Amino acid sequence: MIWFVAGMLLTALSGVPGLFADRFGRGGERLACLLVLAGTASATGGVIAALASGAPALLTRPWSVPGGELALRLDPLAALFILPLCLVVGGGAVYGLGYWPQRDHPGNGRRFRLFYGLLGAAMMLVLAADNSLLFLFSWEVMAVAAFFLVTTEQERAEARRAGFIYLVTAHAGALALFAMFALLAQETGSLHFPAAASLAGGSATLLFLLGLFGFGFKAGLMPLHIWLPIAHAAAPSHASALLSGIVLKTGIYGLLRLTSFFAVIPAWWGWTVLLLGVVSGVFGVALALAQHDLKRLLAYHSVENIGIITIGIGLALLGRSFGMSELTLLGMSGALLHVVNHGLFKSLLFFSAGSVVHATGSREIDHYGGLLRQQPWTAVCFLGGAVAICGLPPFNGFVSEWLIYLAAFGASRGEGLSLRLAVLAAPALALIGGLAVACFVKVFGVTFLGAPRSAAAAAVHHDAAPSMRGPMLTLLLACAWIGLLPGTLAPLLQSAVATWVMPAKAVSLAAPLAPLPLVGATGWVLLIYLAGLGWWLHRRTRQAPRDVSTWGCGYVAPTPRMQYTASSFADSLVSQFRFGLWTERHGGKVKGLFPATGEFASHTPDAVLDRALLPGFRRLARGCSWLRARVQNGRVPTYLLYVALTLLILLIVTAR
Amino acid sequence: MTELSNLCLLLVILVNFFALGSSRLGACIHAVALQGAVLALLPLATHGLSVHTLLLAAGALALKGILIPWLLLRAIREVRIRREMEPLIGFVPTLLLGALATAGAFIFADLLPLIDAHQGGLFIPTSLATLFAGFLLLISRRKAITQVVGYLILENGIFIFGILLAEAMPLMVEAGVLLDLLVAVFVMGIVLDQINREFSTLDTEQLSALKE
C-alpha cells in the first residue's frame, strides 16, 4: 500500500518541477515523464503486491475534514481499473515527449503536464477511495484537471466550447453524486463506504437513479454522452486517450461500486441498465459511422464500447436479481474485461490517430489517404487497435465480447419468459460489432490505403517518432497478450466479480470461465493461419510490380478525388439510421443533361446535444426573457397590481 | 354608538362603489371628500369624546374632507379635465371586481387571526374593501387625478384600520399618516403639473414611452 501511495504522490507532482524549468528546454518534460513512469511503476507494484497478498489492502489515516477519513482500499475490483490506468498514464507521458514537445508548445506544455499528472493521480485516488468524502474530493480534482486538459489549446474557440460543455456536464453529474452520497450516509450512518451486499431497502431506488445519472454522465451513456465527442476531439491525442480510455471508466467503476453495496437488486435495475447499454451501443456506433472527424469518430466509439460494457453489467445485475450466479459471473467478467480492453485498445487507437494528426495537421479523414507507405508502424498499430475494437480474434476485444455473448445466451436458460428476453442483447451486440467493423474498414481504408487525397497527406515523409512508437507497440502487445492468453487473467476476474457480488459466494463461480484458454488457442490458430496466408501471398506476389494504382475501370485519367470518401463509403449504412441521426445533406442534386459544377456535403450533428439540448435551452432562454418583458413592462398600474397581489397573498398566508 | 359607526362604514363602502363606477372626476373628488368627512365621525363614534379623538376627527375632517379635495378640485379646474375617458379596465368590470373584492373582504375578515373585541365587526372588512377599491382605482385608471383619488381611498382604508388601534396608537403615528398623505398629494400635484407641462395631457400612459 505504501508503494501505491508513493506512486500516486509522484504522479500528482510530476508536472511541478517542470514549472521552474526553461521555457524551451527539454529538461522539464523529460523529468516529468520520468516521474510519471516512476509513479505508475510504483503504483503498479503496490497493486500487484496487494493482489498477491490475497486480502484487500487497507490504509486509514485521520483527516481534519468533518466526517472524512483518508481511507484507501485496494481490492481486486479496484485493481482491475488501476492496472490499465497505470499503463495508459505511463505510456501517454512517454508519447507526449514526441507528440506535444515543449519546444513546439512553449505556451501550454508545462500547464498540460501539470494537469496530466494530477489527473492520473486523482483517478488512482478515485479508484482506491473507501470514504465518500475522499471519493468526491478526488472526483472533483479529476473533473477539474480533465477540464484543463480539454482546454489545452484555449486560444481556439472549439476547445473553449468543449471545455465549457464538459464543465457543465461534469458538475451536473457531480451534483447528483453529492445528493447520492449524502443519502447513502444517512442510510448507513457514516461516510465510510458500506461493505458489499450490506444495504437493504430504504431509499435504494433513489440511490440507484442518482448514481446512474451522476456516473452515467461521466461514463457517457447515450443520452448523457454530450460532452464526449467535442471534448475528445478538442484535447491533444494523449489526453483524449486518457479521457476515453480511463476517465470514462471511473463512471463505470462508480456504478459497480454502488451496486455492490445492495443486498437485493430489483429486476428493473438490470433491465434499465441493459436497455441503456443497447441504446448507447447501437446509436454510438451509428453516429461514429457518420462522422468525418477522426477523433470525434473514435469518441463515438467510446460511447459504443461503454454501451457494450453496460450490457454486460445489465446482464450481471439480472443474474443477481434472478439468482443465476453463472449469468452474473459471465456478464460481470465480460464487462470488467472489456473495461480493461477498451482502456488498452482505445488508447492505442487515439495514440495512432494522434500520430496521423501530428503528421498531416488535420483531423478530417478525407484529408488523408495512402499513409500506409509513409507510416507503416502507425498503420500496423491502428490496424491492431481496429481489429481489437471490432471484437475480432486474435485480439482482446474478442475475448470480452465473447464472455458477454455467453452471458446473453445464458439468460435463455433462465426461468420465466421475462429473463429469456435478455437473449435479445446478443443480436444487439452482433449489430454493434458489424457496424463497428464497417466503420473501421472505412477509417482504415480511407486513411491508410489508396492515394493521398490532400497536399498535406502527400507531404508526409516520416513515421511516428520512437517515443510515440514505443507506447503504441506496448499497448498493441498488451492487447495481443489478453487476446492470446486470456486464461492468465481469469483468477483476477473471478476475484473481482466475487468482490462485487459477495465474498462468501466466491466458490461457485469458477466453472464458467474454464474455456478461456480455449478461446486463446483459437486466437493462436488464427494467428498462425494468417501468418501462413501472408507468407503464401507474399511469395505469390514477389514478382509483381509495386507502384501500380488500383484498376480505374478503364478510365484514362483517374485522380485521387475519385476515391471513395468517408461519407460515400458509409452512406448506405448511415441512411438506414436516418430516423436517429438526421444527417444534414447539402447539394448533390444533378440537373439537366450537361450539369454545371456541383457540390455535395453531409454533416451529422450530435442527436442529443445539437438537436435537443441546445435548441431547447435556447428556447427556454427566449421564453424567460419574453416573460421578463411581460412582467417588467414599465407600466405603473401593473406594478401597483403586483403590490395589491402581494398584499392579498400575504393576507391569505396569515389567515387561519 | 355601534349603529352610528356601522352606518358610517356602510356609507364608506357605498362611496367606494360610487368612485369605482363614476367617470366624472369632479363627482369622484366630491365623493372622496364625503368619505373623508364620514371617516372623521368614526373615532368619535367608536371611542367616545376625548381630546385625542377630537383632535383625530378634526385633523381627518380638515385634511381628508376639505383641504385635499379642494386642492384636487382646483387642479382639475386648471387643467380643464372633466371625465375619465377610456380607462384600462372598463367601468362595469371595475364595479364587478370591486363587488367581488368587497365580498371577498367580508369572507376573508372572518379568517384573520383577530382579538375577540374586533371579531365580527364591520371595521376589518370595510377597511380591506376600501383598500382594494383604492388599489382597483389605481390600477384601472389612466388619468393621474383619478389615481390620486385612488390613493386617497387606499389611505382611507388604512385609516379605518388605524381607528381600531386609536387607543393603543399614539397621536404621533396618526399625525404621521396624515402628514404622509399630504406629502404624497403634494408630490403627485407637482408630478401632475410636470406631466401636464411636458406632454400637455394628464394621461399616465405617456410615462411609459421612455421604457426600453
Q: Which of B161, B189, B188 is closest to B173 using CA atoms?
A: B161
Q: Quickly tell me which residue has 366624472 as its cell.
A: B24
Q: Quickly tell me which residue has 459477495 as its cell.
A: A502
Which of chain A's residues have a Cβ under 8 Å away from the Cβ of B141?
A: 637
Cβ partners under 8 Å of residue A406, min gap 6: A330, A334, A512
Residue type (1 letter), A154? Q
Question: Is 70 exceeded by the pLDDT of residue B201?
Answer: no
Q: Which residues pair with A622 in a beta bridge?
A: none
What pLDDT does B79 receive? Answer: 72
How far, in Å, CA of B57 to CA of B38, rounded? Answer: 10
Interface test with chain A among B135, B142, B147, B161, by most A beta carbons within 10 Å: B135
What pLDDT does B85 receive? Answer: 67
Residue A626 to chain B, least CA–CA distance (Å): 13
Which of chain A's residues have a Cβ under 8 Å away from the Cβ of B112?
A: 651, 654-656
User: DSSP characters for A143-177?
Assistant: HHHHHHHHTTTTTSHHHHHHHHHHHHHHHHHHHHH
Interface test with chain B among A626, A633, A640, A652, by most B beta carbons within 10 Å: A640
Which ranges of A290-389 would DSSP assign to H, the alpha helix?
A: 294-321, 325-360, 371-374, 376-389
User: Cβ of B135 and A640 within 8 Å?
Assistant: yes
Residue type (1 letter), A151? T
How far, in Å, CA of A442 to CA of A594, rounded? Answer: 32
Residue B91 to chain A, least CA–CA distance (Å): 16
Beta strands in A521-587 (DSSP E): 584-587
Residue A623 to chain B, least CA–CA distance (Å): 18
User: DSSP characters for A483-518?
Assistant: HH-GGGGHHHHHHHHHHHH-GGGGGGGSGGGTTHHH
Contact A408, A315 (CB under 8 A): yes
User: Cβ of A641 and B131 within 8 Å?
Assistant: no
A148-to-A153, A156, A167, A173 alpha-carbon distances in Å: 9, 14, 10, 18
User: Cβ of B211 and A643 within 8 Å?
Assistant: no
Residue B61 to chain A, least CA–CA distance (Å): 27
Q: Tell me if chain A has a CB within 8 Å of the CB of B113.
A: yes
Residue of chain B whose alpha carbon sits nearest to that of A654: B112
Nearest CB neighbour to A637, from listed B88, B128, B210: B88
Mean per-residue pLDDT over chain B, rounded: 80
What pLDDT does A38 receive? Answer: 95
Cβ partners under 8 Å of residue A268, min gap 6: none
Which of chain A's residues have a Cβ under 8 Å away from the Cβ of B131?
A: 647
How far, in Å, CA of A333 to CA of A52, rounded? Answer: 20
What pLDDT does B199 receive? Answer: 62
| Half-sphere exposure for A596 (CA within 13 Å, toward CB) | 1
Task: Tell which B residues from 72 to 111 touch A, by Cβ distance under 8 Å.
Answer: 88, 108, 111
Contact A299, A285 (CB under 8 A): no
Peptide bond into A394 cis (omega under 30): yes
Which ranges of B112-170 would DSSP assign to H, the alpha helix?
A: 123-140, 144-164
| pTM to 2 decimal places | 0.81
Nearest CB neighbour to A637, from listed B111, B113, B138: B138
User: Cβ of A637 and B111 within 8 Å?
Assistant: no
How far, in Å, CA of A419 to CA of A315, rounded? Answer: 10
- Write out A444-489 in H/E/C secondary structure: HHHHHCCCCCCHHHHCCCCCCCHHHHHHHHHHHHHHHHHHHCHHHH
Residue type (1 letter), B195? I
**Which stretches of chain A drop beneath a pLDDT of 50?**
507
Nearest CB neighbour to B139, from listed A633, A644, A647: A644
Q: Quickly tell me which residue has 520512437 as its cell.
A: A466
Cβ partners under 8 Å of residue A185, min gap 6: A67, A132, A191
pLDDT tens for A369-392 read 889 988 999 999 999 999 999 998
Contact A212, A313 (CB under 8 A): no
> What ipTM score was computed for the predicted complex, to two decimals?
0.75
Contact A483, A393 (CB under 8 A): yes
Question: Is 60 exceeded by the pLDDT of residue B164?
Answer: yes
User: Cβ of B131 and A654 within 8 Å?
Assistant: no
User: Cβ of A644 and B204 within 8 Å?
Assistant: no
How far, in Å, CA of A98 to CA of A79, rounded? Answer: 30
Nearest CB neighbour to B108, from listed A643, A644, A655: A655
Residue of chain A whose alpha carbon sits nearest to that of B136: A641
CB pairs under 8 A between A and B: 42
Chain-centroid distance, C-alpha A625: 38
How far, in Å, CA of A7 to CA of A46, rounded? Answer: 8
Residue type (1 letter), A265? I
Residue of chain A whose alpha carbon sits nearest to that of B137: A637
How far, in Å, CA of B59 to CA of B182, rounded? Answer: 12
How far, in Å, CA of A90 to CA of A117, rounded? Answer: 10
Cβ partners under 8 Å of residue A576, min gap 6: none
* Measured torsion, CA atoms of residues B84, B89, B92, B96, in degrees rounded to the nearest 10: -130
Which of chain B's residues have a Cβ under 8 Å away from the Cβ of A643?
A: 135
Nearest CB neighbour to B113, from listed A638, A641, A654: A654
DSSP class of residue A565 equals: P
How far, in Å, CA of A271 to CA of A314, rounded? Answer: 6
What pLDDT does B200 receive? Answer: 65
Residue B126 to chain A, least CA–CA distance (Å): 15
Phi, psi values for residue A428, rounded to 5° = -60, -45
Phi, psi values for residue A596, rounded to 5° = -75, 175
Q: Is A556 helix (H, G, I), strand (E, B) or coil?
A: coil
User: Cβ of B132 and A634 within 8 Å?
Assistant: no
Q: Is A275 helix (H, G, I), strand (E, B) or coil?
A: helix
What pLDDT does A37 receive? Answer: 95
Q: Is B203 helix (H, G, I), strand (E, B) or coil?
A: strand
First-to-final CA distance of chain B? 56
For residue A603, the surrounding DSSP H or E stretch is strand A600-603
Contact A390, A384 (CB under 8 A): no
Residue of chain B whose alpha carbon sits nearest to that of A629: B212
What pLDDT does A435 receive? Answer: 94
Q: Is B81 helix (H, G, I), strand (E, B) or coil?
A: coil
Q: Quickly tell me which residue has 408630478 as its cell.
A: B191
Q: Which of A528, A524, A513, A518 is closest to A394 using CA atoms?
A: A524
Q: Is A584 helix (H, G, I), strand (E, B) or coil?
A: strand
What pLDDT does A99 receive? Answer: 92
Buried (b) or exposed (e) across A495-523, using 16+ Cβ within 10 A?
A: bbbbbbbeeeebeebeebbebbeebbebb
How far, in Å, CA of A403 to CA of A312, rounded? Answer: 9
User: Cβ of B108 and A651 within 8 Å?
Assistant: yes
How far, in Å, CA of A464 to CA of A475, rounded? Answer: 15
Residue A632 to chain B, least CA–CA distance (Å): 10
What pLDDT does A309 receive? Answer: 96
User: Cβ of A637 and B139 within 8 Å?
Assistant: yes
Mean pLDDT of B195-212: 63
How far, in Å, CA of A301 to CA of A508, rounded? Answer: 35
| Maximum mean pLDDT: which of A394-403, B70-79, B106-115 | A394-403
Nearest CB neighbour to A655, from listed B112, B132, B135: B112
Q: Which of A4, A86, A84, A16 is closest to A47 using CA atoms?
A: A4
Burial (0-12, 13-18, 19+ Cβ within 10 Å), A48:
middle
Cβ partners under 8 Å of residue A629, min gap 6: none
User: Cβ of A655 and B212 within 8 Å?
Assistant: no
Residue B25 to chain A, least CA–CA distance (Å): 19
Residue of chain B whose alpha carbon sits nearest to that of A651: B112
Residue of chain A whose alpha carbon sits nearest to that of B209: A634
What pLDDT does A42 receive? Answer: 95
More confident residue, B100 or B84: B100
**Residue-range domain boundaries for chain B:** 2-210
How far, in Å, CA of B13 to CA of B9, rounded? Answer: 6
Cβ partners under 8 Å of residue B79, min gap 6: B192, B196, B202
Q: Tell me if chain A has a CB within 8 Å of the CB of B207.
A: yes
Q: How confident is the model at residue B163 (pLDDT cuts 50, 70, 90)?
A: confident
Quote the cell numbers at residue A16.
511541478
Residue B35 to chain A, least CA–CA distance (Å): 22
Neighbours of A392 (CB within 10 A): 19
With a pLDDT cut of 70, the percent of chain B lying above it is 78
